[in-house]
């Protein structure tokens, strides 16, 4: 009898705990995560182009432009971010802008153009992810 009561109590605590945890997850601002997933989508598209040795200049610029627009939204998507974080977001924007303006015409040019971009992704993730 006592064991059965404890099991019921345990289940009840488990259910309440799950509801609390689910509410906490829902309260979390989904935008930063969503933005990074989208950023990574465009970076991945470029990686696929490189892997397939098919780096079409206009397709490349389109992906880079999307990344540029996203990088501009980072400050708004990460409210309360500290200044060094915002500086890194700005660095990313500049790096992607430079890459876009260099208009990589083939895969080796694209690989070279992405290097400074990837460095900023890494620099920010090392500190803030």
Closer residue to ligand HEC in complex, CB, 3/80: 80
Q: How far is the CB of 69 from ligand HEC (least distance, A)?
A: 12
Distance CA 37, CA 31 (A): 10
Q: How far is the CB of 32 from ligand HEC (least distance, A)?
A: 4
Positions in the binding site for ligand HEC (CB under 6 A): 32-33, 36-37, 39-40, 43, 67, 74, 85, 88-89, 92, 117, 120-121, 124-125, 128-129
Supply 17's token pair. 């705990």
Closer residue to ligand HEC in complex, CB, 2/51: 51
Task: Count how many residues are written for the chain.
Answer: 129
Closer residue to ligand HEC in complex, CB, 11/98: 98
Q: How far is the CB of 2 from ligand HEC (least distance, A)?
A: 45
**Residue found by looking up tokens 């780096």 in the block:** 55
Q: Which residues of 7-38 are buried (b: 16+ CB within 10 A; e: fewer)?
A: eeeeeeeeeeeeeeeeeeeeeeeeeeeebbee
């Amino acid at each position: 009898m006592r064991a059965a009561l404890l099991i019921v109590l345990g289940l009840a605590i488990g259910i309440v705990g799950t509801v609390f945890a689910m509410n906490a997850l829902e309260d979390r601002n989904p935008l930063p995560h969503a933005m990074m997933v989208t950023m990574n989508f465009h970076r991945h598209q470029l990686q696929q182009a490189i892997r397939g040795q098919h780096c079409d200049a206009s397709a490349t610029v389109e992906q880079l432009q999307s990344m540029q627009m996203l990088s501009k939204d980072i400050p708004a998507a990460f409210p309360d971010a500290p200044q060094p974080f915002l500086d890194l977001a700005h660095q990313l924007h500049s790096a992607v802008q430079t890459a876009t303006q260099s208009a990589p015409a083939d895969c080796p040019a694209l690989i070279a153009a992405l290097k400074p971009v990837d460095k900023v992704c890494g620099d920010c993730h090392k500190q803030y992810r």
